[in-house]
Structure 1
Amino acid sequence: MDTQQITAPPCARTVASRGSAPSSGVIHVNVRHAAGFTVIGNHLAQHRGLSLVAIGLAAHIQSLPAGARIGIKRLAERFPESETRIAAALRELEATGYLHRSRLRLGDGRVVTRTVSYNQPGADSPAATPRPQTRPRPSAPPPHAARPSEPVHAPEPHRPLPEPAGACAPGQAPKPPAPLPVTTPQPGLAAPATPAPQTQPAPVLVPPPTARIAPPPPLPQPQVPTQELQRAASALLADLRRHAPQLTLSEHDINILAPGVAVWLERDAHPDTIRHALTHDLPVPLRHPAKLMRHRITALLPPPLPGAQDLAPPARPGALVIPLQNCDRCDRAFRSRHPGHCRADLPAAA
Structure 2
Amino acid sequence: MAKAGYGKRVAPDQAPLGPADFAGLEPREAAIAAYIDRLPEGAAIGYKVLAEELPDYGQQACRSALDRLTRAGHLRRVKVHVTVTDGQMRWVTRTYFSRTARDAAWWAAHVRFVRGLDAPGQPSAPAAVEAAVEPQPQPEPGDRAPRSEAYGVLAALGRREPRLQLSEGDCVELEHLAGEWLARGVGREQLTQVLTSGLPTPVHSAGHFLRKRLETKMPPSPAPRPEKDHPSEQITGCVIMCLFCDEDETTTTLDHGVCLDCKEAIARDEAAGLTGDVPDTFLARPRAEVDVAARMAELRSAAARPVLPAPRQRR
TM-score range, shorter chain: under 0.3
The structure with the greater share of residues assigned to helix is 2
- Indicate the structure (1 or 2) with the bigger Cα radius of gyration: 1
Q: TM-score when scaled to structure 1? A: 0.23
Q: TM-score when scaled to structure 2? A: 0.25
The structure with the greater share of residues assigned to strand is 2
Higher relative contact order (CA 8 A, sep 6+): 2
